[in-house]
Amino acid sequence: MTIVTAQLSVSLDGCYAGPLQSDPRDWLNGAEAAGFFRVTRWVIDAQAWRERQGISGGERSVNSDIVAEQFASAGAYVMGRRMMDGGEVPWGDEPPFRAPVFVVTNRPKNVLPREGGTSFTYVTDGVASAVDLARAAANGKNVAIAGGGSLVRRALGLGLLDELELHIVPVVLGDGLRLLTPELGLGSKEGIDLTPIRVLETPTVTHVKYRVEGRSELVLDNRGRDGS
């Protein structure tokens, strides 16, 4: 059964990258990239990630198994235009997705085919529409919200996610781009309930997979005043 998933590496203080860099032309040398690479180091060290990129080496580990699982389960992807803009050149002629990718944007563009089964389709009518297109293209596998973090947040706030996996890295960035912000659009007495369904610990990162239960009203309990 096709479900919609997302996963993101975050610091202990909830950042998936450093502070926003307004000029993307020198992104690799900025604070945003420094924070991003610090919380995704575990991915780059994983053998499964390196194999997917055509790079030798890497560690065979729980972390590598997580990466391999993510690639194997995804039949289609959804991503934001900023992620696409930053990745188009580094990914080269054969990006690692090897599946249809639907890019949420307000700038229309022709479908961009790539080698290895990847194609980029630009969707201008919102993330929900992109998820619907990805679901139809996933051939029974999962739809993965690839990022960036702002798109994952929008999908969570709109109730589009079935599962969310956070890879929590033991570092405090102090400042940066955060996944969970008021942009989720929650009311003052409203929350999003999640149920942990898997926790895997390693020395470099803790992987917590949640089932997203959805929005609910936050009700104050009586703090035991009735004796219960």
Q: How far apart are CA 194 and CA 168, in angstroms?
A: 16
User: ∠ CA 192-207-16 to the nearest 5 degrees?
Assistant: 70
Question: Per-domain residue ranges for the chain?
Answer: 4-217
Q: How far apart are CA 141 and CA 74, in angstroms?
A: 6
Contact 189, 218 (CB under 8 A): yes
Non-local (6+) Cβ contacts of 205 within 8 A are 9, 42, 63, 167, 168, 169, 170
How many CB atoms sit inside 10 A of residue 193's CB? 12
What is the value of pTM for the model shown? 0.93
Do you find a cis peptide bond into 148, omega within 30 degrees of 0? yes
Question: Quick one: which of 97, 84, 47, 53 has its CA closest to 67?
Answer: 47
Pick the CATH number of 4-217 from 3.90.79.10, 3.90.1150.10, 3.40.430.10, 1.10.1040.10: 3.40.430.10
Enumerate the β-bridge partners of residue 192. Answer: 215
Q: How far apart are CA 193 and CA 200, in angstroms?
A: 21
Contact 151, 18 (CB under 8 A): no
87-133 confidence digits (pLDDT tens): 888 888 999 999 999 999 999 999 999 999 999 999 999 999 999 99
Residues of the chain short of pLDDT 50, as ranges, are none
Contact 37, 20 (CB under 8 A): no
147-159 confidence digits (pLDDT tens): 899 999 999 999 9
Phi, psi torsion values for 134, nearest 5 degrees: -65, -40
For residue 27, what are the CA distances in angstroms to 10, 84, 85? 19, 14, 11
Contact 80, 24 (CB under 8 A): no
